[in-house]
Structure 1
Amino acid sequence: MKSLRNALTKLLHVLAGVSFIAMVALTCWQVFTRYVLQNPSSWSEELVSYLFAWASLLGASLVTGERGHMNIPILVEKLSPSMQRTLGIFGELVAFAFSLIILVYGGVQITQLAMGQMTSSLGVAVGVFYVVMPLCGVLNMIYTVLNIADICKGTGADATKEGA
């Protein structure tokens, strides 16, 4: 399981990194065409917007894998270890349900709806850019299952931080 987590995390780091580098390059291109060539590139601005959404969702999946999502540790730390485990599993189940319903189911629905629409500058189906929602939903679901397994083994957040 640790090898699966490490492989997914490395893949997400590469995808997020490539997305970030592409955003920087495209933004530089946008500035160059706007101020030097006096002819702004509209397609690069649109693509940067979509890449930003992709990078955000990929980053959210990385956070899920590290169990770095928002929590209130001061309250949980006062509970017994078994109650801490129970709350940890409950939190992961909530994240799993959110990922399944909102990201996977909702993402598939919106992707299918948007396949008939074309982007204004790129001429690509908008649904292509929405594919990241169900993809990250599945990644989040995998990570939550791995997190639950770690919690049950008693390795918890420490093991997930090591794999990142």
Structure 2
Amino acid sequence: MKQLRNVLTALLNVLAGVSLIAMVALTCWQVFTRYVLQNPSPWSEELVAYLFAWASLLGASIITGERGHMNIPIVAERFSPGIQKLLAIFSELTAFAFSLIILVYGGVKITSLAMGQMTSALGTAVGVFYVVMPLCGILNMIYTVLNISDISKNGVLTASEEKED
């Protein structure tokens, strides 16, 4: 399980990093074409917007894997360690349900609906860019299962705290 988490996280870190580098390069290209060549590049602006969405969702999956999602620990800390463990598992189950219903089910629906629409500058089906939703939904579901397994074994430590041990 730990090896699967490490491989997924490494892959997502590379994809998010490549996406960031591509966004910077494309934005520099936009500035160059607009102000130096006096001929703006519409396709690069559109691609940067889609890459930003991809990077955001991939980053959300990375955070899910690290159990770094937002929480309010002041409430959970008032309970015994056993109840804290149950609350942490409930939190992961909620994230799993959200990922299944909104990202996977909703993502598949919106992706298939958008396959008939074309982007204005790139000439690509919009659905191609929406594929990230179900993909990240599946990744989040895998991570939540791994998180539940870790919580069951080790308690309520986050994945980054477990690496320190």
TM-score by length of 1: 0.97
Structural RMSD (CA): 1.2
1:67-78 equivalent positions in 2, closer than 5 A:
67-78=67-78
1:124-135 equivalent positions in 2, closer than 5 A:
124-135=124-135
Deviates more, 1:147-156 or 1:116-125: 147-156
**In structure 2, what is the equivalent of residue 117 of structure 1?**
117
Moved segments of 4+, more than 2 Å: 155-158
Deviations, residues 93-137 of structure 1 (Å, cap 9, x unaligned): 000000000000000000000000000000000000000000000
Change (3 A) 1:155 1:3: farther
1:11-160 equivalent positions in 2, closer than 5 A:
11-158=11-158, 160=159
Q: CA deviation at 1:157?
A: 2.7
Conserved? CA contact 2:85–2:155, under 8 Å? no
Change (3 A) 1:52 1:133: same
**In structure 1, what is the equivalent of residue 3 of structure 2?**
3
| Whole-Å separation in 2 of the counterparts to 1:141 and 1:62 | 12
Aligned residues: 163
Q: CA deviation at 1:155?
A: 4.6
Counterpart secondary structure, 1:15: helix
Aligned-pair identity in percent equals 78
Conserved? CA contact 2:34–2:41, under 8 Å? yes
Q: CA deviation at 1:77?
A: 1.3
TM-score by length of 2: 0.96
Q: CA deviation at 1:84?
A: 0.2
Structure 2 unmatched runs, 5+: none
